[in-house]
Chain A
């Protein structure tokens, strides 16, 4: 014969969920999103403008180099022509 099981009344501890300032949090998120939405196109335009400026600087530098080479070659051609005339009486 087994002993009757002992009765048991139990209160069960719940858990708590706290959502602090949900309205304030929502407002902050909306403000952040709005600020991002406002700033992002400007940021992209500024970045693109900076890339164009750097490309222009590179182009200017390349053109300067080309001009210098062209001038150097011109001077060399003139000197060569002058030497030819002197040598061959052209």
Chain B
């Protein structure tokens, strides 16, 4: 089992188009979070919506955390943007930084991005992103989001 890859949950698209998810709005929701995971999990981009939620299914184990610097529930995405340019939709945000300079995180391999505003299913996932392995000892941990954004949808 391994984190291994970076993908968009298909049910993010399905629920948005079907208006299934009760309240997910990538343009206005203000509580997207990035939770960290080790390499023991096997994310599934095709999982049902309920299984893409924070602390559910594949995401119920493998949490990597620092109680104050990067809690299990994750750090909030700052300044998220949801835009389209020509045929590419992009979800992006400012880089996400640990809450302090004394954060200690064991080896972590990726993040699950979820919407803490969504209530049904609660904390539905948007995507998961992999970076190999990283750790920090009493320091500052920053996720520098890809120049192409967290994820894109090209039509």
On A, residues with C-beta under 8 Å from B are: 5, 7-24
Interface residues on B, range: 35 or more
Q: Is the CB of B129 within 8 A of A7?
A: no
B150 to chain A, nearest CB (A): 7
Q: Which chain B positions have C-beta within 8 A of A10? A: 6-8, 148, 151-154
CA distance A9 to B151 in the complex (A): 7
A-B pair count, CB < 8 Å, reads 95
Q: Which of A5, A7, A14, A18 contacts B140 (CB 8 A)?
A: A18
Q: Which chain B positions have C-beta within 8 A of A17? A: 140-142, 144
B130 at the interface (CB under 8 A from A): yes
A/B interface sample: 17 pairs, CB < 8 A: A8-B153, A10-B6, A11-B127, A11-B150, A11-B151, A12-B129, A12-B145, A14-B144, A15-B143, A16-B144, A17-B140, A18-B139, A19-B136, A19-B140, A20-B136, A20-B139, A23-B101
CA distance A5 to B86 in the complex (A): 14
Given contacts A18-B135, A19-B139, 5 further A-B contacts (CB under 8 A): A8-B153, A9-B10, A11-B6, A16-B143, A23-B102
CA distance A12 to B154 in the complex (A): 13
Q: Which of B10, B135, B151 contacts A12 (CB 8 A)?
A: B151
Q: Is the CB of A16 within 8 A of B102?
A: no
Q: Is the CB of B138 within 8 A of A21?
A: yes
7 cross-chain pairs, A with B, having the tightest CB-CB distances, nearest first: A12-B146, A11-B6, A16-B134, A9-B8, A20-B139, A17-B142, A19-B140
Q: Which chain A positions have C-beta within 8 A of B111? A: 14
Q: Is the CB of B154 within 8 A of A8?
A: yes
In the complex, which of the residues A9, A13, A21 has the most CB atoms of chain B within 10 Å of its own CB atom? A9
Q: Which chain A positions have C-beta within 8 A of B13? A: 9
B1 at the interface (CB under 8 A from A): no
B128 at the interface (CB under 8 A from A): yes
CA distance A19 to B154 in the complex (A): 35
